[in-house]
């Protein structure tokens, strides 16, 4: 049993969280009882009892046969509460609106969460040809503009050894290749993702330095087919200005969550 700050981990609570994370990761693929028991190394009877408890409280849902399980609506309500209560998200949202209006492209706010970036806010482009994203999406930090902008704010010694999972043929999958790219990010002051996370999409990422090290970043995603040198220059100029204004608008007095 692991310990955090000298406090022993509560096994039943850890198992509940692991189950919810497993169901969430499956997305639209419901799971059977035995699959969940096997995946978490839990006796079938114990898993069944845990599932029934969570179904009663809305954290897990089941089908009419009672044999398939998926994530429940309470997780959505909790996630929405997280966004509504976060002062950084509230601060940044109006600036995302402004960037989207000026550039006509998809704008994101993301937060580093372990090896991934979680999308906290998105403003979709109104163009017919556009990127598709959603709040709550996760993308490996090594493979996108948001993640690389944040990784560049940290020492290369903190990078995982690799190899990294490729999302496209353009994803950097070795530590040396990623470190070389991050050196360029530091020199430029922003990251570039040229079809590394999604084929056909280029992204530009900008770390928000209101925390040390930064946990949040904003980005602009553009279909390659619509990206010209002039438009790229415009995106960089606008997003750098938006970043500066966000950082300048940050005030003290907020809770410093860890």
**Per-residue pLDDT tens over the stretch 36-55:** 999 999 999 999 999 999 99
Percent pLDDT > 70 in the chain is 90
Q: What are the tens digits of pLDDT across the range 179-234? A: 999 999 999 999 999 999 999 999 999 999 998 899 999 999 999 999 999 999 99
Q: Identify the pLDDT of residue 81.
A: 73
Q: What would be the CATH architecture of the domain defined by 86-249?
A: 2-Layer Sandwich (3.30)
- Fold match between domain 3-74 and domain 86-249: no
Question: In the chain, what are the domain boundaries?
Answer: 3-74, 86-249
Closest C-alpha among 3, 2, 35 to residue 19: 35
- Determine the CATH number of domain 3-74: 1.10.10.10
Q: Identify the pLDDT of residue 26.
A: 83
Q: Identify the pLDDT of residue 220.
A: 97
Q: Identify the pLDDT of residue 168.
A: 96
Question: Rounded distance, CA 16 to CA 113, Å?
Answer: 20
Whether residue 1 is predicted with pLDDT greater than 50 in this model: the reply is no
Question: Rounded distance, CA 153 to CA 176, Å?
Answer: 17
Confidence band of 128 (pLDDT split at 50, 70, 90)? very low
What is the C-alpha radius of gyration for the chain, rounded to an integer number of angstroms? 20
């Amino acid at each position: 049993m692991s310990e955090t700050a000298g406090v022993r981990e509560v096994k039943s609570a850890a198992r509940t969280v692991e189950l919810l994370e497993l169901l969430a990761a499956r997305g639209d693929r419901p799971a059977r009882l035995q699959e969940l028991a096997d995946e978490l190394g839990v006796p079938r009877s114990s898993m069944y009892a845990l599932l029934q408890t969570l179904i009663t409280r809305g954290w897990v849902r089941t089908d009419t046969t009672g044999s398939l399980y998926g994530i429940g609506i309470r997780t959505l309500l909790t996630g929405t509460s997280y966004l509504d209560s976060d002062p950084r998200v509230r601060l940044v949202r109006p600036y995302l609106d402004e960037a989207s209006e000026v550039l006509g492209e998809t704008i994101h706010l993301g937060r580093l969460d372990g090896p991934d970036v979680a999308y906290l806010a998105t403003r979709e482009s109104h163009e017919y040809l556009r990127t598709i994203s959603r709040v709550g999406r996760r993308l490996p930090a090594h493979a996108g503009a948001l993640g690389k902008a944040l990784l560049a704010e940290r020492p290369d010694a903190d990078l995982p050894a690799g190899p990294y999972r490729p999302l496209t043929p353009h994803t950097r999958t070795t530590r040396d290749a990623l470190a070389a790219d991050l050196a360029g990010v530091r020199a430029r002051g922003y990251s570039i993702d040229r079809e590394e996370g999604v084929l056909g999409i280029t992204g530009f990422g900008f770390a928000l330095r209101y925390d040390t090290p930064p946990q949040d970043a904003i980005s602009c995603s553009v279909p390659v087919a619509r990206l010209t040198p002039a438009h790229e220059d415009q995106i960089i100029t606008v997003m750098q200005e938006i970043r500066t204004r966000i950082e300048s608008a940050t005030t003290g007095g907020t809770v410093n969550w860890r």
